[in-house]
Amino acid sequence: MSLLSLPVATLGTPRIGPRRELKLALESYWAGKSSEQQLLEDAAGLRAANWARQKSIGVTVIPSNDFSLYDQVLDTSVMVGAIPEIYASKSELVSLKTYFAMARGSQVDDQDATCGDQPCGVGAPAQEMTKWFDTNYHYMVPEFHTGQTFRLCSRKPIEEYEEAKALGFQTRPVLIGPVTFLKLGKSPDPAFQPLSLLDELIPVYIEVLQELAQRGANWVQFDEPCLVLDLDEGMRKSLRHAYDRLAKEGPAIKIMVASYFGDLGDNLHTALSLPVAGLHLDLVRAPQLLDQIIAGGRSDLVMSLGVVDGRNVWRSNLSSLRQRLEPVIAKLGKDRVQIAPSCSLLHVPVDVGLETGLASDVKSWLAFAVQKMRELAILARALAGDQNVAPALAESECAATVRQTSPKIRDANVAVRMKAIDQTMRRRASPFARRAEIQSNRFGLPPFPTTTIGSFPQTTEVRNARAAHARGAMSDEQYDRFLKEETARAVHWQEDIGLDVLVHGEFERNDMVQYFGEHLAGFAFTRNGWVQSYGSRCVRPPILFGDVVRSKPITVGWWCYAQSLTRKPMKAMLTGPVTILNWSFVRDDIPRSEVCRQIALAIRDEVRDLENAGATMIQIDEAALREGLPLRRSEWTAYLDWAVDCFRICSSGVADQTQIHTHMCYSEFNDIIGAIAAMDADVISIETSRSKMELLDAFRNYEYPNQIGPGVYDIHSPRVPEMGEMKELMALARTRLHDSQLWINPDCGLKTRKWEEVRPALANMVAAARELRASF
Ligand code: GLN
Ligand code: ZN
């Protein structure tokens, strides 16, 4: 470390590799093409490169054990021996086979399936997976049972510490804190409280700490992001109890408790009362924490200041950060401060330097993990008084000014339209009951109309054609002809099997968000901007940098073509504004709600153009609306208000006779049913097949009036459902909702399935509808 610097931490780094090397290594191993030995060597190579890079950039608090072959929560389950019996391994330490069985099930045959960025695992009993706080990263949910005991079953944190040490890197091992770990877990017995296992669990952590201390570690990082959630008094007590015990019974090793993804709020006092050496704060999401901490922190508590955004891709203004932090450092003293990103850099892509296709100005506004590390290093030197970094600070400030004033991010017409949004734009002409009558007369659909959610199988041929077109090996005309043929085949087939409302199949779309982003101004796309979603799977979120403008219709041509092939209603297919927003890296210079309204205006134009072209049914997917919910309940209403508002803006510009559909694939509606109702879509399709229609209780209890298509076909599985099963599911739906409300459809789009599965499954679905009608 240069003398003129403060400690620089990263908290954690992307582990997939600059070119997704880990993905390749894993998938080759899973496919049986390479050995375990090879996989472990590749992984070690990635870790070594990662440590070396951090050191060369000037990171001084380098993490270890932030790497994972699959998921850090799964690593923790394995470390403490929380291994459900079905995976039980007989050896003392857990084998890689057991580990991957927990991650992926033991007989997965469909490892490439995804649904949006959601996993679509198959049959085998992989552990449940769910979103890591409000990120798009998914972790494996720990499973606990009554009488659960823990023992050290994986020495990974110790081994990785030693591995780094042997290479000459002193590291700060990262562990998921015991309270967050238990809180993330579940139990087959819903009455069982995982937190009651805390005292069982602590000794394993102490054992790990002892081993680390013996080997020379002087700090460890305990991630406790649960500190930013709504906690009850019991949870807070558990936090204090856990760290009291670690302090009393553990070795002399310093613990940095890391909170991130938000404000500490009413947990502030708890966080400050923990008997630990350091506390990390997310000062990007909660800048106000800084003053509170200075006022309330113990005089020897080391503060890790998370000032560079670990959740977004924008370059920092280091000059203004320095100004803000200088007085803080003066108050706290240099030896009480570490400079860090707001959270682990896991959630941003690796290196802007690898991008060759970005406009140079947009590129100069971006910072991925490598650039963020450099920013931290420069800032830490500036704050320590190193004059040599002055040019770098000036450059950073300059880039910020250029971005702020760039004509590229602002469009005068958008500002005018945003101001002009009024109440009439947010409301359909008539209430639902009236619209339903008009639409029923117009469409004359049978009871329990059948439809699908939009996409049909993205076969190898479809993907190959897209790739060939992208690299110029297929001309525009050839590609267009190919897509038309695919579409025509899908349309005719839907007619043949007797579906009531058809779709064009979405063959022309790479991804439901990217496709729209590519047709709107304000979005940029990376070549290598991959972020881990789960396991080996990565996503490349669009970068939404400027005002959103739709200069011409996007989907109208495809819709017209598809409708020209049939007399049945062809449902037009759009992605909603909230989903586009939530699956992108979004500009941070204006509120998200405003960005979302801009997208809503663009989609509204598309909706109206579709209607003018003759579309009678238009579906606006909001697959990601629920996952945008803030971590704190108190912020839900504000989010839902603008999210619903955006949906209404984009969907209300049509006549009563035009039927607006929406689609959401979630498993929970209870707490947002009011918002769903406020969206006022004529028809909503949802994912229900796995929940035995219990999910419809929320709709029944709310007396939800509009129409609903509860999914009767689990599209996450290659299994073809029988007609009888689908009839049974519909019978369950009918106990909860009126027949006149019900549609029949799959849970979600079929892009990840094979035609061999889709053909019989949908034929069974149509047959189920026919039988239902016959008994009507
Ligand atoms: N219309 C999209 C499709 O069918 C919806 C996908 C989704 O909800 N994730 O693929
Ligand atoms: Zn879906």
pLDDT digits (tens, 9 = 90+) for 508-534: 999 999 999 999 999 999 999 999 999
Query: Looking at ligand 1, which residue's alpha carbon is closest to its atom 8?
Result: 623
- Ion ligand 2 neighbours, Cβ < 5 Å: 623, 665, 748
Is 771 marked as binding a ligand?
A: no
ipTM, interface predicted TM-score of the complex: 0.99
Provide the CA 443 distance to its chain's centre, in angstroms. 38
The pLDDT-based confidence of 377 (bands split at 50, 70, 90) is very high
The pLDDT-based confidence of 668 (bands split at 50, 70, 90) is confident
716 noted as active-site residue: yes
Q: What does the alpha-carbon distance between residue 660 and residue 663 come to, in Å, rounded to a whole number?
A: 10
The pLDDT-based confidence of 122 (bands split at 50, 70, 90) is very low
Atom of ligand 1 nearest to the CA of 115: 9
* Proportion of the chain above pLDDT 90, given as a percent: 91
Residue 108 has pLDDT above 60, yes or no: no
Residue 153 is given by DSSP the state -
Q: What is the dihedral of CA 745, 751, 757, 762, to 10 degrees?
A: 20
How many of the other CB atoms lie within 10 Å of CB of 520? 21
Q: What does the alpha-carbon distance between residue 334 and residue 7 come to, in Å, rounded to a whole number?
A: 9
Place of tokens 């459902």: 721
Report pLDDT for 716: 86
How many of the other CB atoms lie within 10 Å of CB of 684? 25
The pLDDT-based confidence of 717 (bands split at 50, 70, 90) is confident
Residue 114 has pLDDT above 90, yes or no: no
Residue 614 has pLDDT above 70, yes or no: yes
Candidate from 78-92, 313-327, 348-362, 395-409 with smallest mean pLDDT: 78-92
Tokens encoding 703:
């007396």
The pLDDT-based confidence of 117 (bands split at 50, 70, 90) is very low
Largest CA distance in the chain: 83
Q: What does the alpha-carbon distance between residue 429 and residue 433 come to, in Å, rounded to a whole number?
A: 12
Is 506 marked as binding a ligand?
A: yes
Sign for the CA dihedral angle at 421, 426, 428, 429 comes to negative
Return the best residue to mutate from 115, 453, 713, 751 for the ligand 1 pocket (most ligand atoms within 8 A of CB).
453
Separation of 260 CA from ligand 2 center, angstroms? Answer: 30
The pLDDT-based confidence of 123 (bands split at 50, 70, 90) is very low
The pLDDT-based confidence of 327 (bands split at 50, 70, 90) is very high
Report pLDDT for 88: 73
Nearest C-alpha neighbor of 501 from the set 604, 608, 576, 573:
573
Place of tokens 């990601």: 624
Residue 106 has pLDDT above 80, yes or no: no
Nearest C-alpha neighbor of 248 from the set 222, 220, 267, 276:
276
Contacts of residue 732, Cβ cutoff 8 Å, sequence gap at least 6: 692, 693, 696
Report pLDDT for 311: 98
Q: Which residues pair with residue 64 across a beta bridge?
A: 173
Residues with CB under 6 A from ligand 1: 115-116, 453-455, 506, 512, 573, 621, 623, 663, 665, 748-749, 751
Report pLDDT for 93: 86
Tokens encoding 229:
């959630």
Residue 558 has pLDDT above 60, yes or no: yes
* Proportion of the chain above pLDDT 70, given as a percent: 97
DSSP string, 483-540: HHHHHHHHHHHHHHHT-SSB--B-TT-S-TTHHHHHTSEEEE--SS--EEEETTEEE-
Place of tokens 């009291």: 244
Is 621 marked as binding a ligand?
A: yes
Query: Looking at ligand 1, which residue's alpha carbon is closest to its atom 9?
Result: 116
Separation of 645 CA from ligand 1 center, angstroms? Answer: 21
Is 143 marked as binding a ligand?
A: no
Average pLDDT over residues 548-573: 98
Nearest C-alpha neighbor of 627 from the set 513, 761, 775:
513
Tokens encoding 290:
């800084």
Task: Please provide the average confidence, as pLDDT, over all residues in the chain.
Answer: 95
Contacts of residue 633, Cβ cutoff 8 Å, sequence gap at least 6: 230
Q: What does the alpha-carbon distance between residue 455 and residue 253 come to, in Å, rounded to a whole number?
A: 54
Provide the CA 558 distance to its chain's centre, in angstroms. 29
Q: Which residues pair with residue 282 across a beta bridge?
A: 306
Q: What does the alpha-carbon distance between residue 262 and residue 227 come to, in Å, rounded to a whole number?
A: 9
Residue 722 is given by DSSP the state P
SS (H, E, C) 330-367: HHHCHHHEEEEECCCHHHCCCCHHHCCCCCHHHHHCEC
Report pLDDT for 125: 67
Residue 711 has pLDDT above 90, yes or no: yes
Q: Which of 347, 504, 661, 716 is catalytic?
A: 716
Residue 456 is given by DSSP the state -
Residue 319 has pLDDT above 50, yes or no: yes
Average pLDDT over residues 371-377: 98
Burial readout 325-338 (b: 16 or more C-beta within 10 A, e: otherwise): beebbeebeeebbb
Query: Looking at ligand 1, which residue's alpha carbon is closest to its atom 1?
Result: 454
Burial readout 139-164 (b: 16 or more C-beta within 10 A, e: otherwise): bbebbbeeebebebbbebbbebbbbb
Q: Is 690 exposed, middle or buried (0-12, 13-18, 19+ CB in 10 A)?
A: middle
Q: Strands 114-115, 118-119: parallel, antiparallel or unpaired by DSSP?
A: antiparallel
Residue 296 has pLDDT above 90, yes or no: no
Share of the chain residues as helix, strand and coil, in percent rounded to the nearest 5 = 50, 15, 40
Report pLDDT for 516: 98
Q: What does the alpha-carbon distance between residue 71 and residue 74 come to, in Å, rounded to a whole number?
A: 5
Alpha helical stretches, state H, 550-688: 556-564, 577-582, 592-613, 636-651, 673-679
Candidate from 291-295, 304-308, 504-508 with smallest mean pLDDT: 291-295
Report pLDDT for 111: 43
The pLDDT-based confidence of 715 (bands split at 50, 70, 90) is very high
Q: Dump pLDDT digits (tens) for 135-185.
A: 999 999 999 998 899 999 999 999 999 999 999 999 999 999 999 999 999
Q: Strands 521-524, 543-549: parallel, antiparallel or unpaired by DSSP?
A: antiparallel
Separation of 409 CA from ligand 1 center, angstroms? Answer: 29
Report pLDDT for 89: 65
The pLDDT-based confidence of 90 (bands split at 50, 70, 90) is low
Is 23 marked as binding a ligand?
A: yes
Query: Looking at ligand 1, which residue's alpha carbon is closest to its atom 5?
Result: 749
Run of H or E including 138: strand 138-140
Report pLDDT for 3: 67
